Structure 1
């Protein structure tokens, strides 16, 4: 492993691991997701869970969801020293994209009651 690389293992919710794969410290989380999707197994327990796109993949590291624009080099507190034999495990969660919200229909006004009341 080079001085500017880190090994990342992906652990799926079913307990199956993918990797470890070497990534440069300049790699973004988005590029990790692309690699994970490209290397998704065609057989085994994960074959039926293959996401349609990287938008469905969420990565968790140290209990936090990682945003697509984050680069590995900014996670030094998790990765340890570059070039060491440490393998970082990231958890993989699949979430289908949220459906686009339809504009809310205007609420129909309830008819106002026109009754009177006398209190004595």
Structure 2
């Protein structure tokens, strides 16, 4: 049995079409480690960047990768066809934090919208 793990070359395609990488990772690397690498390499000039790894989703071969899985577990046949594997990065929109701001108790009745469906 060989102690050397295969290295996979991966680049991450960001929502604006730019890339982070390519960089080499072992098959034992977890998806959460990949997300940490994305956070560290995230371009500062891009708006609405992720704050934590929970703000990111990685997609490879049409499947969303789970944080606790390793690259070996997530690997598809597509990874074997070319030298560099591209994974797509989806960022959770920051608008989901708005629900917290609305619970301050200072809502006035003039800011409400009401619809009646007959």
Do both proteins adopt the same fold according to a TM-score greater than 0.5, normalized to the shorter chain? yes
Post-superposition shift, 1:54? 0.6
Structure 2: gaps of 5 or more residues: 98-118
Larger relative contact order (CA 8 Å, sep ≥ 6): 1
Q: CA RMSD in A?
A: 2.3
Aligned: 1:18 with 2:20: yes
Structure 1: gaps of 5 or more residues: 100-120
Q: TM-score, normalised by structure 1?
A: 0.68
Partner of 2:100: none
- Measure, in 1, the Cα distance between the counterparts of 2:5 and 2:32: 22
Structure with more of its chain in helix, by fraction: 2
Aligned: 1:80 with 2:77: no
4+ long deviations beyond 4 Å:
96-99
Alignment of 1:30-45 (within 5 A): 30-43=32-45
**Are the equivalent residues in 1 in contact too, given 2:5–2:26 (CA < 8 A)?**
no
Aligned: 1:95 with 2:92: yes
Partner of 1:28: 30
Post-superposition shift, 1:78? 3.2
- Measure, in 1, the Cα distance between the counterparts of 2:15 and 2:38: 14
Q: TM-score, normalised by structure 2?
A: 0.69
Determine helix, strand or coil for the equivalent of 2:24. Answer: strand
